[in-house]
Amino acid sequence: MFRLVKLTPPHGWNAVLWELAIVTLGVLIALAAQQVVDDFHWRGQVREFRTALRAEISDDLATYTYRREQNRCTVARLDELQRWLDSWRAGRPDKLTGPIAIPTSLIIRTTVWDSRDPETVSRMPLSEKLDYGSLYTEFANAEVHRLDERAAWAALGDYDGATHLDHQDLMRLQGLITRARLRLRRITTNADRFIKKAATLGIRPVPNPEWPAPDTEICRPILQKG
């Protein structure tokens, strides 16, 4: 027959409860301390990422102001090419006395954004993540226009030194001029919108002093009356 044994701690139940309370408190303090350390670590990670990201965006915005400063010469060159084309259509062809050239553009950098750590980004406010993501989506769209503009100007360069244009040449030349004008308008309009949007986040374009100077060849008149 089993008998229930009454357990009695040597120093009484109050001592046991006190020891349990001390251990529990120690665990809670350790967990709280770890949480503080983790929060401090991730706040630092977010701060560093935000600083690098805003610097990259500022740099990217400056590529638009860099390109926009060439707009006057770019438009003038397209106007020259249009007059050259029209002179051939009129049967009184003018001459090009120099290379057609091409406006200088700079590539958009997305290294910081592309290498973002999901855990770091998850600790940023949702509105901030959406704002940055929206800007980089805009950058990707603008890069399509930039690359197509370069392709159009590269194709225009095929007419450097041309002394004869047939009907097919005239049609192709008109298409390239129109295409270059379209991309110029899109790039300029997008740049203005991006810069205004970034300004609401306190980000402004800051040019990199190591960037090469734009090619000035496109600013030299090349159309001579035939």
The answer, yes or no, to whether residue 98 has pLDDT greater than 70, is yes
Entry pTM: 0.80
For residues 63 and 104, the answer to whether their CB atoms sit within 8 Å is no
CA 37/CA 146 separation, integer angstroms: 46
Q: Tell me: pLDDT of 122 over 60.
A: yes
Nearest C-alpha neighbor of 83 from the set 222, 213, 195: 222
How does pLDDT run across 163-206, given as a tens digit for each residue?
Answer: 899 999 999 999 999 999 999 999 999 999 999 999 999 999 99
The DSSP symbol for 107 reads: P
> Is 60 exceeded by the pLDDT of residue 89?
yes
CA 105 to CA 151: how far, in whole Å? 12
Report the distance separating Cα 85 and Cα 111, nearest Å.
42
pLDDT, tens digit (0-9, with 9 covering 90-100), for 57-76: 999 999 999 999 999 999 99
Q: How far apart, in whole angstroms, are the C-alpha atoms of residue 30 and residue 181?
A: 65
Q: Reply yes or no on whether the pLDDT at 21 is more than 70.
A: no
Q: What is the distance between the alpha carbons of residues 158 and 176, in angstroms, rounded to a whole number?
A: 11
Q: Which pair of structure tokens corresponds to residue 180?
A: 């270059």
Q: What single letter denotes the amino acid at residue 164?
A: H
The confidence score (pLDDT) of residue 83 equals 97
CB within 8 Å of 155: residues ≥ 6 apart: 172, 176
Residues 6+ apart with CB under 8 A from 71: 184, 188
Pair of tokens at residue 65: 């102001």
